[in-house]
Amino acid sequence: MRSRQEEQTRPGRRLRRTVAVAAVSLVTVLTALATPGSANSPRGAATAPQGSDGATTRPACPRDTGEALCLLSVVTDDDGTSVGPNTVGGGLTAAELQDAYNLRSDWLGGGQTIAVVVPYDNTSAAFDLAAYREGSGLSECGAERGCFRKVNQRGGETLPPANPNWQAHGAVGLQMASAACPNCDLLLVEADDETPQSMAAAVDQAVDQGADAVTVMWAYYEFEGQSAYAKSFDHPGVAITAQAGQGFNTDGRQLMPSAYNSVVAVGATELFADPGSARGWAERAWSSTGSGCSLYEKKASWQRKDACGDRRTVADVAAVGAYSTPVRIYSSNLGGWSNVVGTPVSSSFVAGVYGLAGTDTTTPAAQRPYKNAQYLFDITAGANGACGGDKLCTATRGYDGPSGMGTPNGTGAF
Is the pLDDT reported for residue 209 higher than 60? yes
For residue 32, the model assigns a pLDDT of 32
For residue 77, the model assigns a pLDDT of 73
Rounded-to-integer distance, Cα 190 and Cα 151, Å: 6
Eight-class DSSP state of 160:
P
Is the pLDDT reported for residue 85 higher than 80? no
CATH of domain 4-408: 3.40.50.200
Which one is predicted more confidently, 406 or 15? 406
For residue 373, the model assigns a pLDDT of 97
Band of residue 274 on the pLDDT scale cut at 50, 70, 90: very high
Band of residue 65 on the pLDDT scale cut at 50, 70, 90: confident
Rounded-to-integer distance, Cα 315 and Cα 297, Å: 13
Which one is predicted more confidently, 120 or 38? 120
Least confident window among 67-71, 156-160, 227-231: 67-71
Is the pLDDT reported for residue 35 higher than 70? no
For the chain, percent of residues with pLDDT exceeding 90: 72
Is the pLDDT reported for residue 266 higher than 50? yes
Band of residue 66 on the pLDDT scale cut at 50, 70, 90: confident
For residue 285, the model assigns a pLDDT of 97
> How distant, in Å, are the alpha carbons of 113, 189, 190, 200, 220 from that of 195?
25, 14, 12, 9, 9
Any residues with CB less than 8 A from the CB of 247 and at least 6 apart, and which?
Answer: 288, 290, 384, 385
For residue 19, the model assigns a pLDDT of 34
Rounded-to-integer distance, Cα 60 and Cα 58, Å: 6
Sheet containing strand 247-248, strands side by side: 247-248, 290-298, 311-314
For residue 141, the model assigns a pLDDT of 80
Query: Global pTM?
Result: 0.86
Any residues with CB less than 8 A from the CB of 284 and at least 6 apart, and which?
Answer: 37, 40, 47, 48, 50, 269, 270, 379, 381, 382, 395
Helix (H) / strand (E) element for 214: namely strand 213-216
For residue 49, the model assigns a pLDDT of 37
Least confident window among 41-45, 118-122, 155-159, 344-348: 41-45
For the chain, percent of residues with pLDDT exceeding 70: 82
Of 243, 248, 247, 284, which is closest to residue 267 (Cα–Cα)?
A: 243
Arithmetic mean of pLDDT, 179-197: 97
Of 260, 242, 237, 259, which is closest to residue 250 (Cα–Cα)?
A: 259
For residue 106, the model assigns a pLDDT of 87
Is the pLDDT reported for residue 48 higher than 70? no
Is the pLDDT reported for residue 4 higher than 70? no
For residue 78, the model assigns a pLDDT of 63
Rounded-to-integer distance, Cα 225 and Cα 212, Å: 28
For residue 16, the model assigns a pLDDT of 39
For residue 259, the model assigns a pLDDT of 97
Q: What is the 3-state secondary structure (H, E, C) of 346-412?
A: HHHHHHHHHHHHCCCCCCCCCCHHHHCHHHEECCCCCECCCCCCCCCCECCCCCECCCECCEECCCC
For residue 64, the model assigns a pLDDT of 85
Band of residue 210 on the pLDDT scale cut at 50, 70, 90: very high
Arithmetic mean of pLDDT, 251-280: 95
Which one is predicted more confidently, 3 or 400? 400
**pLDDT by residue (tens digit) across 126-165?**
999 999 999 999 988 865 567 999 999 999 999 999 999 9
Band of residue 6 on the pLDDT scale cut at 50, 70, 90: very low
Which one is predicted more confidently, 289 or 385? 289
> How distant, in Å, are the alpha carbons of 48, 187, 307, 319 from that of 30?
9, 42, 33, 22
What is the residue-averaged pLDDT of the chain?
Answer: 85
**pLDDT by residue (tens digit) across 304-323?**
887 899 999 999 999 999 99
For residue 40, the model assigns a pLDDT of 36
Least confident window among 47-56, 149-158, 241-250: 47-56
For residue 252, the model assigns a pLDDT of 77
